[in-house]
A and B are shown apart, each in its own frame.
Chain A
Amino acid sequence: MLNVDDHNHEAKDPDHHGDDHAQADQDHGHDDHSHAEADLNETAHVGHDSHAESGKLTMAEQFQANMNKHLSVGHLMSHVQDSYYFDCPQALGFSFEDEHGHEHNGIEIPSITGFTKETPMIGTAEKPIFIGRLSKFMVLELVAAVLLTVVFVWLAKKIKSGDRPKGAIWNLLESFVVYIKDEVVKPAVGEHDYLRFLPFLLTMFFFILALNLLGMLPYLGAATGSLAVTAVLASVTFAVVCGSGIQKMGFAGFLKAQVPAMDLPPLMKMFLLPLMFVIEIFGLFVKHGVLAIRLFANMLAGHLVLAVFVGFFGVLAGTLAFYPVAPIVLLGSVAFSAMELFVAVLQAYVFTFLAALFIGSAQHAH
Chain B
Amino acid sequence: MSQFALNECLLLASSDATANPLAAPIDLALWTLVVFLGLMFVLGKYAWKPIIEGLNAREKGIADNIESAARAQEEAASSLKAYEAKMAGAHDEAAALIAEARSDAAAAKEKLMAEANEEANRTRQKALADVEAAKSAAVRELAESSVDSAVSLASNIVGRSLKKEDHAKLIEESVKRFAGS
- A71 and B9 in contact, given A64-B4, A82-B28 (Cβ under 8 angstroms): yes
Question: At the interface, yes or no: A72 with Cβ under 8 Å from chain B?
Answer: yes
Query: How far, in angstroms, from A123 to B38 measured CA to CA in the complex?
Result: 28
Whether, in the assembled complex, B77 has its beta carbon less than 8 Å from a beta carbon of chain A, the answer is: no
Majority SS of interface residues in chain B? helix
Smallest Cβ distance from B75 to chain A, in angstroms?
26
Give the chain B neighbours of A61 by CB distance below 8 A.
3
CB-CB < 8 A to B19: which residues of A? 73-74, 76-77, 81
Docked pose: A84 CA to B2 CA in angstroms: 39
Please tell me which one of the listed residues B1, B17, B21, B27 contacts residue A130 in the complex, with CB atoms under 8 A apart.
B27
Q: Given A148-B43, A149-B39, A207-B36: A73 and B16 within 8 A (CB)?
A: yes
Known: A77-B19, A202-B48. A148 touches B39 (CB 8 A): yes
A contact residues, range: 35 or more
**A60 at interface (Cβ–Cβ under 8 A)?**
yes
Q: Tell which of B23, B44, B61 touches A226, judged by Cβ atoms closer than 8 Å.
A: B23
Identify the closest chain B residue to A81 (Cβ): B23
**A177 contacts chain B at the CB level, 8 A cutoff:** yes
Give the distance to chain A from B42, nearest Cβ to Cβ, in Å: 6
Bound Cα distance A199, B44 (Å) = 5
* B36 proximity list for chain A (CB < 8 A): 203, 207, 232-233, 236
Main SS class of interface, A: helix
**Cα distance A156–B51 in the bound complex, in angstroms:** 5
Q: B83-111 interface mask toward A, CB cutoff 8 Å, 1 = contact, 0 = none? A: 00000000000000000000000000000
A149 touches B9 (CB 8 A): no
A181 near B35: Cβ-Cβ < 8 Å: no
Question: Would A141 and B3 count as touching, CB distance under 8 A?
Answer: no
> Do A159 and B54 touch (CB < 8 A)?
yes
Q: Is the Cβ of A203 less than 8 Å from the Cβ of B28?
A: no
A63 and B4 within 8 A (CB):
yes
Q: Which residues of A contact B21 (CB under 8 A)?
A: 77, 81, 227, 300
A159 and B35 in contact, given A68-B9, A74-B19, A131-B25 (Cβ under 8 angstroms): no
- B156 CB within 8 Å of chain A: no
Does A39 lie at the interface of the complex (its beta carbon under 8 Å from any beta carbon of B)?
yes
Inter-chain contact B54/A156, CB cutoff 8 Å: yes
Asked whether A159 lies within 8 Å of B4 as measured between CB atoms, the reply is no
* A227/B39 contact (C-beta < 8 A), A36-B18, A156-B50, A178-B55 known: no
Q: Could you list 26 A-B pairs, sorted by A, with CB under 8 Å?
A: A35-B16, A39-B12, A60-B2, A60-B4, A64-B5, A77-B18, A78-B18, A138-B27, A138-B31, A138-B35, A145-B39, A148-B39, A149-B42, A156-B49, A160-B51, A160-B54, A181-B52, A198-B48, A226-B24, A228-B26, A231-B24, A231-B29, A232-B29, A233-B36, A235-B33, A236-B36
**Which residues of B are interface residues toward A (Cβ below 8 A)?**
1-6, 9, 12-19, 21-29, 31-33, 35-40, 42-44, 46-55, 57-58, 61
